[in-house]
Structure 1
Amino acid sequence: MSQIAFIGGGNMATSIIGGLVKGGDVKASMIHVSDPGAEQRARLSKDFGINVHENNLDAIAKADVVILAVKPQVMKDVLQPLQATLSSRQPLLISIAAGISMDSLASWSGCKALVRCMPNTPALLGRGATGLFASAAVSIDQRNQADSLLSAVGLTVWVKNESEIDAVTAVSGSGPAYYFLLMEAMIAAGQKLGLSKETATRLTLQTAAGAAEMALKSDVDPAELRRRVTSPGGTTERAIATFEAAHLRDIVDAALKAANDRGAELSQQLGD
């Protein structure tokens, strides 16, 4: 069984660790986490019974897999002191940081087997969606291992080109915020129509959850589901026509392109 090290013990790392331990695929004794916060280390040790470290080098000392769960802005500073150990041991290196390219990861770490992935915040509930891309040096076994680790917190999808990670970020990485924004707008509109905030909120959130569940379990695509609930001359048709008249599709297209482009910009800025 592989030794797994997490550099950074924040929310995303915690969610992955929780999924692994809960699923029973990895023994807690095989998981090591380093984090600068004493309270967070104590919480991780108490909740999951894993090994915690203040020093990153101690965490990766025997690791076969190293998961980088730190902010993109500090990735270079985190990796460079570990380069000698990582270069010597050559673990599978998995980065969940946005905007850090394979070239930068390889340069800063000295590792060859690299996986970039972009999970999203519903991973905290085991309902995440993660896109992954592997370098040519990643073996089939390592690819399966990365997939197993990330599937512990939800859906995994592999992409063929590194540039597609920016598209994954635009669609699913940032995606929860888009739905939250729509929820905000629906709640506010419901209040303007006379509903209390509590009633508008409960109805909106349950409707969002129900619609998502229907789409997940349906044998037809969302466009067909929309058509089925849009009766000619009815209230839904009137609302949909208003969305279309306001060019909702163009707005969504522009928003996702902006997120995609920003991901590419970050790769250039943070890779310097």
Structure 2
Amino acid sequence: MNMDDVTARGLVLLGCGKMGSAMLAGWLKGGLPPGSVHVADPNPSDWLQAQGVHINEPLPADPAILLVAVKPQIMDEALAGRETFGSGKTLILSVAAGTPLSRYEAAFGDSAPIIRAMPNTPAAIGRGITAIAGNANVGEDHLSLAEALLTSVGQVVRLEGEHQMDAVTAVSGSGPAYVFHLVETLAAAGEAEGLPPDLAMALAKATVGGAGQLAEDADEAPDQLRRNVTSPNGTTQAALEVLMDETNGFPALLRRAVKAAAERSKELSRG
């Protein structure tokens, strides 16, 4: 199974919100013919309707890919009557949050190859990172195809198994919100030191964005990058002595935050 197979047999997209649209834009830009894409979405956006794909038309019997990109709250409705895609010929790929492989196995049967993926919101600008894990029916060709599709919105990593998905959700799935809050609080701290709000926010956004890009691009590890900008007894060291405090600083705070997110992910997966 490869991208030529997807072109020939088609790709079915259940749901086309922000994440589905981001991925579809990447596939179309990469050369996937619009005529090979079939979308089932009760409220198609104006953007989607302008792409030349099939929208809410009869679906192909055995597409190469069935991508599930609906919200968990409407999962039952979206999967109703889709059991025909469980013949084993179609790869089921889900980017829906909090929905375990077992839920899809119950819907599609024992023969279906199913991959669960956890992307994050920077996928909307092609800068996401997605973790994938498959069920027992998934082979290397399925994983490679999933990677080819998901790299349209950023990096892809393979997990040892679905048991790691809750931790991934807590780190990269929910992680962008932690960074957005860092921007908020850094700007607020700048205001508290006398900066105008607009200037404080501009400084905070550019600093977090630039540092993140540097951390991703540099050959050096983040701890070395931190040392590189920390002069002995300087201003950065004074701040880091507060932030790196093992009791009240980032280490303990982020451990608690990530653990809380992971535990909530486990609760949601259990329904």
Assess same fold via TM > 0.5: yes
Structure-1 residue corresponding to 2:52: 49
Deviation of residue 140 (structure 1)?
A: 2.0
Q: TM-score, normalised by structure 2?
A: 0.92
Distance in 1, Cα, partners of 2:170 & 2:259: 7
Q: CA RMSD in A?
A: 1.5
Contact 1:70/1:97 (CA < 8 Å) preserved in 2? yes
Contact 1:7/1:66 (CA < 8 Å) preserved in 2? yes
Mapping of 1:2-151 within 5 angstroms?
Answer: 2=6, 3-24=10-31, 26-38=32-44, 40=45, 42-46=46-50, 48-53=51-56, 58-59=58-59, 61-83=61-83, 85-88=84-87, 90-110=89-109, 112-151=112-151
Distance in 2, Cα, partners of 1:59 & 1:146: 21
Contact 1:8/1:68 (CA < 8 Å) preserved in 2? yes
Deviation of residue 89 (structure 1)?
A: 6.3
Contact 1:6/1:59 (CA < 8 Å) preserved in 2? no
Q: Deviations over 1:29-54 (max 9, x none)?
A: 2111111015x2x43131x222211x
Deviation of residue 196 (structure 1)?
A: 1.1
Q: Which amino acid aligns with 2:20?
A: A
Deviation of residue 229 (structure 1)?
A: 0.6
Distance in 1, Cα, partners of 2:35 & 2:49: 11
Q: Pick which of 69-78 and 182-191 moved more.
A: 69-78
Q: TM-score, normalised by structure 1?
A: 0.91
> Can you give the 5+ residue segments of structure 1 that lack an aligned partner in the other structure?
none
Distance in 2, Cα, partners of 1:265 & 1:249: 24
Deviation of residue 88 (structure 1)?
A: 3.9
Q: What is the DSSP-based 3-state SS (H/G/I as helix, E as strand, rest coil) of the residue aligned with 1:81?
A: coil
Residues matched between the structures, number: 261
Q: Which amino acid aligns with 1:18?
A: A
Distance in 2, Cα, partners of 1:11 & 1:115: 20
Q: What is the DSSP-based 3-state SS (H/G/I as helix, E as strand, rest coil) of the residue aligned with 1:152?
A: helix
Contact 1:21/1:27 (CA < 8 Å) preserved in 2? yes
Q: What is the DSSP-based 3-state SS (H/G/I as helix, E as strand, rest coil) of the residue aligned with 1:99?
A: coil
Q: Is 1:257–2:263 an aligned residue pair?
A: no
> Can you give the 5+ residue segments of structure 2 that lack an aligned partner in the other structure?
none
Q: Deviations over 1:107-128 (max 9, x none)?
A: 0222520000000010000000
Superposition misfits of 4+ residues, deviation over 3 angstroms: 59-62
Q: Is 1:247–2:249 an aligned residue pair?
A: yes
Q: What is the DSSP-based 3-state SS (H/G/I as helix, E as strand, rest coil) of the residue aligned with 1:156?
A: strand
Q: Which amino acid aligns with 2:43?
A: G
Q: Deviations over 1:236-256 (max 9, x none)?
A: 000011112323201101111
Q: Deviations over 1:33-91 (max 9, x none)?
A: 111015x2x43131x222211x6xx24544210000011122123213212x2234641
Deviation of residue 187 (structure 1)?
A: 0.8
Percent of residue pairs identical: 38
Structure with bigger helix share is 1
